[in-house]
Amino acid sequence: MTKRLIFILPALIFVVLVGFFVWGLQEGRDPSIVPSAMIEKPIPEFDFPGEPLLERDGFSDKSMQNGKVIVVNFFASWCIPCRAEHALLTQLVEEEGITLWGINHRDKTEDAKEFLDRLGNPYERIGIDSGRGVVKWGVYGLPETLVVDREGRIRYHHRGPLVRAIIERDLLPVIRALD
């Protein structure tokens, strides 16, 4: 009997494997999405200084603990998708009244100023990150957007540019639930 079982074993293992394959083929599954390791974690310790030319204060982990829900957006003038999502961010601030703080990553001040002068400046504060500050946030490309709750805990993390569908399906419900 045991001998028989050994012969059947390869087929049984294969059945299990096919099960996973079928699961893997389901629609809408994107294996390339890397989830954030930051979700449900407190914000890291950091201090991004402000830049007078951009007319906004910088911020640190301390100043973020002010009892407000804050949307943190990583951007730069050289980042084309950032340009694309800028109008949507502005709209979010104007129509939904969200608190948006920006982190300007590895940018030239003049370029960043020109970027905001031309497209508008929805950010309440802008911290300057000239180095590797983004790494602490688990950010590895621009743009990325995170939502931090009243207790200073990261509750949402989106990689890549925001589009209307994602804002409506994911971002806004998170913010509303926290408010």
C-alpha to C-alpha distance for 115 and 108, rounded to whole angstroms: 11
Out of 2, 20, 132, 165, the only residue in the binding site for another protein (CB under 8 A) is 20
Contact call for residue 2 and another protein (CB under 8 A): no
Lookup: tokens for 45? 């310790």
Nearest distance, CB of residue 76 and another protein, angstroms: 15
| C-alpha distance across the termini of the chain, in Å | 64
Whose Cβ is closer to another protein: residue 66's or residue 130's?
130
Out of 1, 2, 3, 67, the only residue in the binding site for another protein (CB under 8 A) is 3
C-alpha to C-alpha distance for 54 and 152, rounded to whole angstroms: 25
Contact call for residue 23 and another protein (CB under 8 A): yes
Whose Cβ is closer to another protein: residue 46's or residue 78's?
78
Contact call for residue 21 and another protein (CB under 8 A): yes
Whose Cβ is closer to another protein: residue 10's or residue 52's?
10
Contact call for residue 165 and another protein (CB under 8 A): no
C-alpha to C-alpha distance for 58 and 124, rounded to whole angstroms: 10
Contact call for residue 24 and another protein (CB under 8 A): yes
Q: Find the DSSP H helices in the chain.
A: 2-24, 61-64, 80-91, 109-119, 133-136, 164-166, 172-178
Residue holding tokens 């960043």?
112
Stretch that binds another protein, among 21-29, 99-107, 128-136, 162-170 (CB under 8 A): 21-29
C-alpha to C-alpha distance for 116 and 113, rounded to whole angstroms: 5
Residue 99 phi/psi, 5-degree rounding, is -95, 115
Residues that bind another protein (CB under 8 A): 3-4, 7-8, 10-11, 14-15, 17-18, 20-25, 27, 31-35
